[in-house]
């Protein structure tokens, strides 16, 4: 077996493997044996068909293809280990058979991707200041208002629409007498006093009754999220289908009890705790982003393989989709609303994917320098904890036994440990006098 290595751009390495005649002969015999177990030939038992008879039946090329597969499965990782000792590989090897003809040497190429080289920069003592959580009174007020809205009592009304009412209406949008794509809605629920479509829409419904129709136009702002409407005058054609008067309950103990709290004070206490925790998490994430941006700005990276960035873009796309679905929306409808295809959204995510890959590479180097790791017993403890938390959920229980999930969990725990360390050494602390630069 002859192996030639060629280093390509963006961390790619290509190995050309040529099989020698004696090796090909042994592989061909093994390939013929494998194929003869699957191909039925009258007069011969499975696996016992003579080579020449099998060649007549299936063709020599088919046997050669099986021989290459055997060679690849048997030796590819040993070849990589012996010929790419100086690099750390990522992803799966790509194999391409380049020469396969009877009477000639067999040749195939293996392309692999390697982690880029990282030159470590400063990662300590940035002196970042973490914001403190201020009052959450405004958020509490909005949340309680939403809870009141959820418990509103409604009754059908034949009166004119007034502020605070709910109406069901058909809404049709057009621009210069041309219907707007996805702008024809037979039943839209509108709460008068809340913003819908565009500012001023709900105010145009005040004074109408069931069965009334109205046409009016409103300008859409230049920065509106629906790009096909942004900055344009849009014509509305409305028909009122139903009107409801709404009675909003007071913010009192009865409202709190409807949501399984003992009293309004108990509800507010829990709301404050939840909102404060949420704010703290947002502040922590903001600090984390600022810190990682500063770290990767000071590090230097050789060419990053496209496969790493594509994989990260795909992960980010799934995160966006999960976020949309968790809010009760349809991902395809979301794509239509932003006037983008899935591929165009992936391109938008590309810069963020590059940043996330660089962050991961930087953290990997910092872990080595600081000797930060996760012990197997820590992973065992976390798996045991998750097992107790999700006891009875068979799918989760099976995932916890999966070695791939174990590796993922270990990586996640290591990142959490690293980020905790980095926040400690990069956040201003007047009591700390033993900081040292890297």
- The average confidence (pLDDT) of the chain is 89
Question: In the predicted model, what is the mean pLDDT of residues 352-373?
Answer: 95
pLDDT at 169 over 90: yes
CA distance 89 to 80: 9
pLDDT of residue 436: 40
Domains of the chain: 2-114 (3.30.70.1050), 152-247 (3.10.50.40), 261-426 (1.10.3120.10)
Tens digits of residue pLDDT in 245-285: 999 999 999 999 999 999 999 999 999 999 999 999 999 99
By CB atoms closer than 10 A (0-12, 13-18, 19+), residue 321 is middle
How far, in Å, CA of 149 to CA of 425, rounded? 46
Q: Which of 181, 179, 183, 178 is nearest to 201 (CA)?
A: 183
If one counts every other C-beta atom within 10 angstroms of the C-beta of residue 72, the result is 17
Q: Which pLDDT belongs to residue 431? A: 45
d(CA 412, CA 398): 19
Whether 320 has a pLDDT exceeding 80, the answer reads yes
Alpha helices in 299-402 (DSSP H): 306-326, 331-337, 342-370, 376-389, 394-401
Q: Report the pLDDT value the prediction gives residue 368, as an integer from 0 to 100.
A: 94
| Contact between 267 and 261 (Cβ < 8 Å) | yes
Calculate the alpha carbon distances from 78 to 28, 65, 75, 106, 170 in Å: 21, 20, 5, 18, 68
What tens digit of pLDDT does each residue of 241-255 get?
A: 999 999 999 999 999
Q: Which of 114, 118, 117 is nearest to 14 (CA)?
A: 114
| Contact of 332 with 325, CB cutoff 8 Å | no
């Amino acid at each position: 077996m002859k192996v030639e290595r060629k280093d390509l751009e963006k961390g790619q390495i290509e190995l050309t493997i040529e099989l020698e005649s004696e090796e090909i002969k042994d592989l061909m015999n093994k390939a013929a044996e494998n194929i003869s177990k699957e191909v039925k030939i009258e007069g011969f038992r499975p696996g016992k068909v003579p080579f020449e008879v099998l060649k007549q039946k299936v063709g020599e090329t088919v046997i050669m293809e099986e021989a290459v597969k055997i060679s690849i499965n048997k030796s590819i990782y040993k070849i990589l280990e012996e010929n790419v000792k100086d690099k750390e590989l990522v992803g799966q090897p790509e194999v391409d058979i380049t020469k396969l003809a009877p009477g000639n040497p067999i040749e195939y190429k293996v392309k692999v991707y390697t982690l880029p080289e990282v030159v470590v920069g400063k990662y300590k003592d940035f002196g970042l200041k973490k914001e403190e959580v201020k009052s959450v009174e405004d958020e509490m007020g909005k949340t309680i208002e939403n809870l009141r809205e959820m418990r509103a009592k409604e009754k059908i009304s034949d009166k004119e629409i007034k502020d605070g009412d709910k109406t069901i209406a058909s809404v049709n949008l057009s621009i210069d007498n041309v219907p707007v794509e996805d702008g024809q809605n037979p039943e839209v629920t509108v709460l008068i006093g809340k913003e819908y479509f565009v500012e001023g829409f709900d105010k145009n419904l005040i004074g109408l009754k069931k069965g009334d129709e109205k046409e009016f136009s409103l300008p859409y702002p230049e920065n509106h999220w629906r790009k096909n409407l942004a900055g344009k005058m849009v014509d509305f054609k409305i028909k009122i289908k139903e009107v409801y008067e709404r009675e909003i309950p007071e913010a009192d103990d009865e409202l709190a009890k409807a949501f399984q709290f003992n009293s309004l004070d108990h509800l507010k206490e829990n709301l404050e705790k939840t909102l404060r925790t949420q704010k703290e998490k947002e502040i922590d994430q903001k600090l984390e982003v600022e810190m990682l941006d500063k770290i990767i700005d000071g590090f230097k990276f050789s060419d990053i393989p496209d496969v790493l960035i594509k994989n990260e873009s795909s992960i980010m796309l799934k995160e966006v989709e999960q976020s949309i679905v968790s809010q009760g929306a349809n991902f395809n409808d979301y794509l239509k609303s932003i006037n983008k295809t899935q591929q165009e959204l992936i391109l938008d995510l590309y810069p963020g994917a590059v940043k996330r890959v660089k962050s991961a590479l930087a953290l990997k180097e910092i872990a080595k320098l600081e000797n930060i790791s996760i012990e197997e017993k820590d992973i065992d403890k976390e798996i045991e904890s998750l097992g107790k938390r999700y006891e009875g959920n068979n799918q989760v229980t099976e995932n916890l036994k999966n070695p791939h999930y174990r590796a993922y969990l270990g990586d996640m725990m290591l990142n959490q440990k690293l980020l905790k360390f980095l926040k400690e050494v990069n956040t201003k602390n007047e009591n700390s006098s033993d900081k040292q630069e890297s």
